[in-house]
C-alpha cells in the first residue's frame, strides 16, 4: 500500500496575497466547490478575524456540504494578554470551521523584531492559543512561520517552539519557509531532524517560491517525513507565490507513488486549474507545468516527427492523466510536417507536393512575419488551410464599416457601428449600438448576416485579448487581437492583426463567424469534423 | 576560494522553441550583447545547419567582439554515413563558433524508436562526430539527450554513451533531462554515479521544467559535481521551458557560495531579464523569482509593518543584490498603513486622522471594486492622493470627444478623433488622425493641450495593455487599460476602466498627461519628487 498524503489548499487565503489576485465571496465559494470536487483534503477559506468578507465566506460555505475540511486562519494570542478574550482566536471558533491554522513565530529574530516580546512569552502564546482551540474541539494546524530561517539561526529555539506546540495538542506541526529562501537539501535535513523528535503530532510543509524551489522543497519535505502539503492552485501567493499544488500533486502521485487523489480526480487537475485562473481573472502562463496549454505542445520539427511515432519520446507523462492534451504547434521553426500533421488532425487532406500547399505554407510564414500567431488561433489556421484546399465559399463581399465612439461631459459614452456588405449579390447596410466599439461592430456584423445565416444566433464571444506587438510606440504600433468564441458545445479561437485595433478586431470577428458557419455546414452535410480537430480547438 | 561554475545560455537556441517566442537576427544580436554584459560564459546562438537566419547570426555576432564563447548547436552525424560529408557537422565548423554543442542519444528506447538504428551505430555516430569536431579545433559540449530517462531504463548503455563521448575527446558531458520528468534526488544520485566514472571531461547539466523542478534539478546536479549549467533567461523553452538562469544563478551564488558572476554583473540580472522579455515580446510573469516586479512586493498589512522595521523579516535576500527593488502594494487586503507608507514614499503627507484621508481611502476601495488596479498604476494612485491633499489643479474641463474609424474595401483604414476641452476659460476644439483609435485620441488631446503646456512635447506612450475584466461576455464587458508613458528620464503607469475600451483609454491617457505635468511643475518649482517616489514609478 502506498502512503497517503493530505493536501491543504490555501488558494483562498495565502493565494489572495498575490499581486493582482482579488476574490469576491462568490468567487471564493465557486473555487471551494471546485477544489472539493478535485479532492483536496483541507480548504483554508480566509482570516475570519480580519474582515467581514471572510466571515461571510465561512457562513455560506457550510451550505455547500463539502467533503473537504474547512479551515480558518489566525495568529496566536497577542502578547501579555488573555487567551479567552482574544478576539482573533474567538473569531476562529465562531467561524464554525472544523480546523484552525494558527500561525506563530519560530525564528528568534522575528520574536524580537516583529513581535517585540521575549522568547518565553512567545512559547506561552503558542501553548495557550493551541490549548484553547483544542479545548473548543477544533483540529489545530500549527504554522511555524519562518521555521527554516529560525532553525538555521537558533535550532534549539525553533525545535522548542515545535515541542511546545505538540505539548499543547497541535494535530499538525507545519514548517513554513515563509520567505521562500530555503534550498531542497536544507529542507530535507531540517525536516529529518524534526521528524526524529515529534511523537504525537504529524508534520506539514508550507513553502514559498522566491527561489523557484517551492515545489522541490515540498517534495523534499515529504521524502523526509512530512505528510501534509500546504500550497495554492497555480502557485498564487505573495511575492513569487506559494507551492503550486498543480505541480506538487501529480509529481508526488505519478512519480513517487503517493496516494493523494483518485485517478478520476487527477484528470480534473487541468480544468480545475484553468477554472480557478478564470475566476481569479489571472492569465495562466501557457508554459505552466502539467496544466498549461503549452505543457505538452511540440514545436521543434524533429520532436514532432518523433512524438508522432511514440509520444513517450518527448512527454514525461501521458497528458490525459492530468486532463491535459498534446498539441502540435505551427511556427516558423517548424517544418512543413507540423502543418501537414495539423491539417490531418483537422481532417484536411493537404498534399505536400502540391502548388496550393506550397502557396499556403509561404502565406502562413509571411503572416507570422507580420505578427499573426496561429498557435493560439487554430480556427483562423483551419480557415486558411481549407481555403487553400478550395473547400470554402465566401460568406459575403466586404464593402465598408464605420465605427463611432462619442462621449460628452455627464453623458454616458455611446458606441455605434455601420456595416455594409454584399451577400449573394444583395447590398446589406446595417447599424448597431454596443457597450463598446468591438461589441457594436460585432452586433452590426451579425445583424447583417443573421437573416442569411440563422445559425449564427447562438454564437457568442467568450474572450477578447489585445496584444501590442511593438512596445516602442505603443499607440502607433501593430496590435494582435485574439478572440475566443463559443457555442453550446465548443469554443474556437481566431486572430486579426493590424496597426488599428478596430480593424484587427474586425478581422478576428469575421474569422470567428466564418468558422462557426463552416462547422455548421459540415454538420448539416453529415460530414463530421473529426474528433482530433474538435479536441485541438477546445483548449 | 569558492568553486567556479560556468553558465551556458541557450536562450537564443532552446529558448526560441518556446511557444510564442520568435526572434529576428537583430533581436538575437541584441540579446547576445546583453548576455555578454551580464557575464554568462557560453552563448548558444542557434542551429547553423537548420536555417539561414542562424547562419547570419553566427556571421554577424563575430563583429560584436563578445567575451562569452559563441556556441553552435547540431546533431551527431546521420546513421550509416560519412562524418566528413555530413552537412550538419560541417555547418558547425563553417559557423566560426568557438564551441559546438553536439546532441546525441543516450536512451536506448530513443535509439530504436526515433533514430531507428542499432545501439552500436549510435555509439559510433557519437564517437565519430565528436572526434571530427575536435580535430577541427572546436571545444565540444556533448549533450546527452534524455540521459536520466536513459539511465533509468538502461544504466549500462547510458554510461557507455558518456564513456564513448569522453574517449572521443568531448570537453563537456552534459546530461539532459530532455522531457523534464526527473526529480532532484534522482538527478543527484545519477550525477553522482557519472561523476565517479568521468576522468578527463567535465560534467554539465541541462534541465527542463515540466515538473516545475528545472531549477532544483540544476542545483542538485551542481551539488553532485556538475560544473556547467545550461539554461535560458526567464526559463524560455519548449513546453514548460528550460532551467531559468535568472533563478539558478543567484541561488547558486548567493546561497551556496559558488563563484559565477561579479557582484556588479549580478546587479544587472533584473534589467537583463526584463530587457530580454521586451525583445522577445513576452510579458514577464510579475511573480517571477528574483527578477519579477512582485518578487519583493508586499501586500499583507502585517508583513508591511514588519518589513518597514527590518526588511529581512520578509525578504530572503536584499533585492538590490540582483538589481530588483522592494515595493509596497496597495490592495483591498492592505490596511491603511500600506497606503500611508506609499504616500510617504511619494512625498505626500497624508494624516491618518484626517477626513479627506478617510475619503480617499474609501474612494480607492470603491474604485478597486469597479476593476481599477493601482498595483500597476502608481501614477494614477499618486494623482488620487495628491488631489485628496488639495495639491492638484485641473488642467482642463472636459466637454466631449468623438472617435471615428472607417474602412472601405481596398482602402486603408482611417482613424480620427475630435476633442473639445475648456482650458482656462477658453474653448479648444481639435481634430487629429492616428494609426489607430487610441493614437488618434492621444494626438487630438495633445494638440489641444500643447500650446498651454509645451512640456508635453517630449512625452510618449511606451506600452498599452488592455485587459477584459469579465470573460463571460467578452466584447460587452468591462475593460481595464494600463498605459505606460516615458520621457527622457522616467516612465510611469496609469489606469482607466470602463465598459468601453475607448473611454478607458481616454481616462488613462488623461492621467498620463496630468502626471507628466505634475512632475514638471514640481521640478520647475524646485520641489524635488523624492527618490523613493521616482523609484516606485520606474518599474
Q: How far apart are alpha carbons B514 and B5 in whole angstroms?
A: 50
Give the closest residue to A282 by CA, choosing from B426, B287, B233.
B287
> What pLDDT, on the 0 to 100 scale, is given for residue B524?
56
How many residues in total does chain A contain? 539
Q: Which residues of B touch A19 (CB under 8 A)?
A: 286-287, 293-294, 297, 299, 329, 331, 375
- Asked if A298's CB is within 8 angstroms of B415's CB, the reply is no
Nearest CA in chain A to B292: A240
Phi/psi at B316 (5° precision): -75, -20
ipTM of model = 0.73
CA torsion sign for A89, A91, A97, A98 is positive
As a whole number of Å, the CA-based R_g of chain B is 28
Q: Which residues of A touch B373 (CB under 8 A)?
A: 20
Checking if the pLDDT of A427 tops 60, the result is yes
Give the span between the Cα atoms of B61 and B217, in whole angstroms: 31
Residues of B whose CB is below 8 A from A300: 17, 238
Can you tell me the distance from the alpha carbon of B465 to that of A489, in angstroms, rounded to the nearest whole number? Answer: 31
Q: How far is CA A490 from CA A203, A460, A511, B285, B297, in A?
A: 45, 11, 16, 29, 39
Place of cell 517548424: A334
Task: Map residue A309 onto helix, strand or coil.
Answer: helix
Nearest by CB to B289, from A184, A212, A438: name it.
A212
Are A457 and A514 spatial neighbours (Cβ–Cβ below 8 Å)?
no
CA distances from A466 to A403, A478, A498, B275, B501 (A): 18, 10, 11, 21, 11
Q: Are A169 and A140 in contact (CB under 8 A)?
A: yes
pLDDT over 90 for what percent of chain A?
64
Measured between CB atoms, which of B211, B315, B468 is closest to A247?
Answer: B211
- Subunit contact A211:B500, Cβ cutoff 8 A: no
CA distance A2 to chain B (A): 18
Q: Is there a common fold for A6-261 and A397-530?
A: no
Distance from CA of B337 to the nearest CA of A (A): 15
What is the separation of C-alpha B241 from the centre of its chain, rounded to a whole number of angstroms? 13
Interface contact flag, A294 B240, Cβ < 8 Å = yes
pTM equals: 0.74
Q: How far is CA A294 from the centre of its chain?
A: 13
Q: B397-536 belongs to which homologous superfamily?
A: Alpha-isopropylmalate synthase LeuA, regulatory domain (3.30.160.270)
> How far B29 CA sits from the closest chain A CA (Å)?
18
Question: Are the CB atoms for A491 and A485 separated by under 8 Å?
Answer: yes
Range A337-363 average pLDDT: 79
Query: Chain A closest CA to B115's CA: distance in Å?
Result: 9
Assigned fold of A397-530: Double Stranded RNA Binding Domain (3.30.160)
Mutate to test the interface with A, among B500, B503, B506, B509 (most CBs of A within 10 A): B500
pLDDT at A306 over 90: no
Determine whether the interchain pair B436/A500 forms a contact, defined as Cβ–Cβ distance below 8 Å: yes
Per-residue pLDDT tens over the stretch A481-527 = 888 888 877 889 899 999 888 999 999 999 999 999 888 776 554 33
As given in the structure block, the three cell numbers for residue B436 are 489607430
**Residue B240 and residue A315: Cβ atoms within 8 Å?**
no
Whether A315 contacts A296, CB under 8 Å: yes
Walking along chain B (539 residues) 10 residues at a time, the average pLDDT comes out as: 88 92 87 97 94 91 97 95 95 97 96 93 98 98 98 98 98 98 98 97 98 98 98 97 98 97 96 85 87 87 77 92 85 60 82 79 79 80 89 88 94 95 93 91 93 87 73 59 84 89 94 90 47 27
* C-alpha span between B1 and A520 (Å, rounded): 71
DSSP 8-state secondary structure symbol assigned to residue A285: P
Q: Where are the domains of chain A?
A: 6-261, 397-530
- Chain A contact for B493 (CB, 8 A cutoff): no
Task: Give CA–CA dist B30/A304, Å, rounded.
Answer: 30
Least confident segment among A160-174, A255-269, B325-339: B325-339
Which 3-state string (H, E, C) describes B53-86? HHHHHHHHHHHHCCCCEEEEEEECCCCCCCHHHC
Burial degree of A97 (CB within 10 A; 0-12, 13-18, 19+):
buried
Q: If you count them, how many residues does chain B have?
A: 539
B317 in contact with A, Cβ within 8 Å? yes
- Max Cα–Cα distance, chain B, nearest Å: 89
Can you read off the three cell numbers belonging to residue B29? Answer: 544580436
CB contact under 8 Å between A506 and B462, yes or no, is no
pLDDT at A141: 98
- How far is residue A28's CA from residue A8's CA, in Å, rounded to a whole number? 16
Rg (CA), chain A: 28
Which candidate, B38, B32, B159, places its Cα nearest to that of B97?
Answer: B32
| pLDDT at site B332 | 47
CA dihedral A250, A255, A258, A263 (to 10 degrees): 50
The 10s digit of each residue's pLDDT in A77-129 is 999 999 999 999 999 999 999 999 999 999 999 999 889 999 999 999 999 99
**Residue B287 forms contact with A (CB below 8 Å):** yes
Q: How far is B390 from chain A (nearest CA, A)?
A: 23
Collect contacts of B87-90 with beta carbons under 8 A, ≥24 apart: B87/B49, B88/B49, B89/B129, B89/B132, B89/B133
Within 10 A of A406 (CB to CB), how many other CB atoms are there?
Answer: 16
Q: What is the phi/psi pair of residue B268, to 5°?
A: -90, 0
Q: Is A200's Cβ below 8 Å from some Cβ in B?
A: no
Q: How far apart are CA A86 and CA A79, in angstroms?
A: 10
* Contact yes or no for B368 and A22 at CB 8 A: yes
Angle at B251 between CA A148 and CA B140, to 5 degrees: 145
Query: Could you tell me if B16 lies within 8 Å of chain A, comparing CB atoms?
Result: yes
**Cβ separation of A210 and B289 shorter than 8 Å?**
yes
Q: Which of B150, B14, B117 minimizes the C-alpha distance to A303? A: B14
Contact A284, B471 (CB under 8 A): no
Phi-psi map region of B219: left, alpha, beta (phi>0 left; psi -120 to 50 alpha): alpha
Q: Do B297 and A181 touch (CB under 8 A)?
A: no
Q: How far is B61 from chain A (nearest CA, A)?
A: 21
Rounded to whole angstroms, the Cα distance separating B215 from B209 reads 8
Does A183 contact B289 at a Cβ distance shorter than 8 Å?
Answer: no
CB A399 within 8 A of CB A531: no
**Terminal CA-CA length for chain B:** 36
pLDDT for A371 beyond 80: no
| Residue for grid cell 455627464 | A410
CB-nearest partner of B288 from A240, A292, A435:
A240
Nearest to A312 by CA among B364, B152, B269, B189: B152
The third-level CATH classification (topology) of the domain covering B43-227 is TIM Barrel (3.20.20)
Within the 229-248 window of chain A, which residues sit less than 8 Å (CB to CB) from chain B? 235, 237-241, 244, 247
Judge whether A437 is closer than 8 Å to chain B, CB to CB: yes
Taking alpha carbons only, the member of B232, B250, B249 closest to residue B241 is B232
Q: Starting from the edge strand earliest in sequence, which strands make up the sheet with A460-468, in order?
A: A491-498, A479-486, A460-468, B460-468, B479-486, B491-498
Chain B: give the shortest CA distance to residue A234, in Å.
Answer: 11
Among the partner-chain residues A183, A220, A375, the one whose CB lies closest to the CB of B255 is A183
Q: Is B251 on the interface with A (CB under 8 A)?
A: yes
Nearest-angstrom CA–CA distance, A146 and A250: 27
Looking at the DSSP assignment, which residues form a beta bridge with residue A419?
Answer: A401, A430
Question: Is B496 part of the contact surface with chain A (CB cutoff 8 Å)?
Answer: no
Report the CATH architecture of A6-261: Alpha-Beta Barrel (3.20)
Backbone angles phi, psi at B522, to 5 degrees: -60, -40
Kindly list the residues from chain A whose CB atom is less than 8 angstroms away from the CB atom of residue B18: 287, 294, 299
Element (H, E) at A59: helix A52-61
Q: What is the pLDDT of residue B1?
A: 46
Whether A240 and B110 lie within 8 Å, measured CB to CB: no
3-state secondary structure B333-395: CCCHHHHHHHHHHCCCCCCCCCHHHHHHHHHHHHHHHHCCCCCCCHHHHHHHHHHHCCCCCCC
CB-nearest partner of A215 from B213, B285, B310: B213
What are A155's three cell numbers?
A: 535550532
Are the beta carbons of A415 and B298 separated by less than 8 Å?
A: no
Interface touch B475/A435, C-beta < 8 Å = yes
What's the sign of the alpha-carbon dihedral B196, B198, B202, B207? negative
Q: Which of B40, B41, B42, B46 is nearest to B27 (CA)?
A: B46
User: Which of A275, A324, A476 should one mutate to test binding to chain B, selecting the residue with the greatest count of B CBs within 10 A?
Assistant: A476
Look at A373 and A255; give whichever has higher pLDDT. A255
Interface with chain B: mutation pick from A287, A319, A322, A332, highest number of B CBs within 10 Å = A287
**CB contact at 8 A, A119 and A164:** no
User: Does pLDDT of A535 surpass 50?
Assistant: no
Neighboring chain A residues of B473 at a CB cutoff of 8 Å? 460-462
By Cβ distance, the residue of B19, B465, B502 closest to A297 is: B19
Instruction: Using a CB–CB cutoff of 8 Å, tell me whether B332 touches chain A.
Output: yes
For B462, name the nearest residue in chain A, comparing CA atoms only: A474
- β partners of residue A208: A242
Residue B411's alpha-carbon distances to A425, A480, B85, B406, in angstroms, are 21, 20, 54, 10
**A229 falls in which pLDDT band (50, 70, 90)?**
very high
Amino acid at each position: 500500500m502506498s502512503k497517503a498524503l493530505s493536501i491543504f489548499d490555501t488558494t483562498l487565503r495565502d493565494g489572495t496575497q498575490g499581486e493582482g489576485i482579488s476574490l469576491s465571496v462568490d468567487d471564493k465559494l465557486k473555487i471551494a466547490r471546485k477544489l472539493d470536487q478535485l479532492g483536496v483534503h483541507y480548504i483554508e477559506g480566509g482570516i475570519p478575524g480580519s474582515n467581514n468578507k471572510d466571515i461571510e465566506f465561512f457562513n455560506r460555505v457550510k451550505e455547500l456540504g463539502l467533503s473537504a475540511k474547512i479551515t480558518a486562519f489566525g495568529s496566536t494570542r497577542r502578547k501579555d494578554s488573555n487567551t479567552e478574550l482574544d478576539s482573533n482566536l474567538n473569531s476562529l471558533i465562531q467561524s464554525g470551521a472544523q480546523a484552525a491554522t494558527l500561525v506563530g513565530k519560530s525564528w528568534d529574530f522575528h520574536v524580537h523584531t516583529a513581535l517585540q516580546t521575549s522568547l518565553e512569552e512567545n512559547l506561552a502564546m503558542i501553548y495557550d492559543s493551541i490549548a484553547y482551540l483544542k479545548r473548543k474541539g477544533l483540529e489545530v494546524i500549527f504554522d511555524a512561520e519562518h521555521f527554516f530561517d529560525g532553525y538555521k539561526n537558533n535550532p534549539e529555539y525553533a525545535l522548542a517552539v515545535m515541542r511546545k506546540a505538540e505539548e499543547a495538542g497541535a494535530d499538525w506541526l507545519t514548517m513554513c519557509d515563509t520567505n521562500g529562501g530555503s534550498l531542497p537539501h536544507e529542507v530535507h535535513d531540517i525536516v529529518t531532524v524534526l521528524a526524529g523528535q515529534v511523537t504525537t503530532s504529524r508534520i506539514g510543509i508550507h513553502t514559498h517560491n522566491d527561489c523557484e524551489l517551492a515545489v522541490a522543497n515540498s517534495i523534499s519535505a515529504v521524502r523526509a517525513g512530512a505528510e501534509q502539503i500546504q500550497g495554492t492552485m497555480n502557485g498564487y501567493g505573495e511575492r513569487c507565490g506559494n507551492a503550486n499544488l498543480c505541480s506538487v500533486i501529480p509529481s508526488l502521485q505519478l512519480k513517487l507513488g503517493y496516494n493523494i487523489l483518485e485517478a478520476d480526480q487527477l484528470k480534473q487537475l487541468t480544468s480545475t486549474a484553468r477554472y480557478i485562473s478564470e475566476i481569479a481573472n489571472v492569465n495562466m502562463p501557457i508554459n505552466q507545468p502539467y496544466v498549461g496549454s503549452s505543457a505538452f505542445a511540440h514545436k521543434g520539427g524533429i520532436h514532432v516527427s518523433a512524438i508522432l511515432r511514440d509520444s513517450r519520446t518527448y512527454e514525461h507523462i501521458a497528458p490525459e492523466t492530468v486532463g491535459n492534451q498534446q498539441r502540435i504547434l505551427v511556427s516558423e521553426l517548424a517544418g512543413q510536417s507540423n502543418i501537414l500533421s495539423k491539417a490531418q488532425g483537422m481532417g484536411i487532406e493537404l498534399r505536400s507536393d502540391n502548388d496550393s500547399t506550397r502557396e499556403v505554407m509561404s502565406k502562413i510564414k509571411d503572416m507570422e512575419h507580420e505578427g499573426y500567431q496561429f498557435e493560439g488561433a487554430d480556427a483562423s489556421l483551419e480557415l486558411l488551410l481549407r481555403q487553400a484546399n478550395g473547400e470554402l465559399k465566401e460568406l459575403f463581399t466586404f464593402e465598408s464599416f464605420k465605427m463611432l465612439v462619442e462621449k460628452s461631459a455627464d453623458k454616458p459614452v455611446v458606441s455605434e457601428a455601420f456595416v455594409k456588405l454584399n451577400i449573394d449579390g444583395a447590398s446589406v447596410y446595417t447599424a448597431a449600438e454596443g457597450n463598446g466599439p468591438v461589441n457594436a461592430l460585432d452586433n452590426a456584423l451579425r445583424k447583417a448576416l443573421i437573416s442569411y445565416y440563422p445559425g449564427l444566433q447562438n454564437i457568442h464571444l467568450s474572450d477578447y485579448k489585445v496584444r501590442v506587438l511593438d512596445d516602442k510606440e505603443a499607440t502607433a504600433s501593430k496590435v494582435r487581437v485574439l478572440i475566443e468564441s463559443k457555442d453550446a458545445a465548443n469554443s474556437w479561437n481566431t486572430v486579426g492583426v493590424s496597426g488599428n485595433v478596430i480593424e484587427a478586431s474586425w478581422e478576428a470577428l469575421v474569422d470567428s463567424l466564418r468558422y462557426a458557419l463552416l462547422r455548421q455546414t459540415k454538420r448539416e452535410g453529415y460530414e463530421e469534423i473529426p474528433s482530433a480537430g474538435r479536441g485541438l480547438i477546445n483548449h
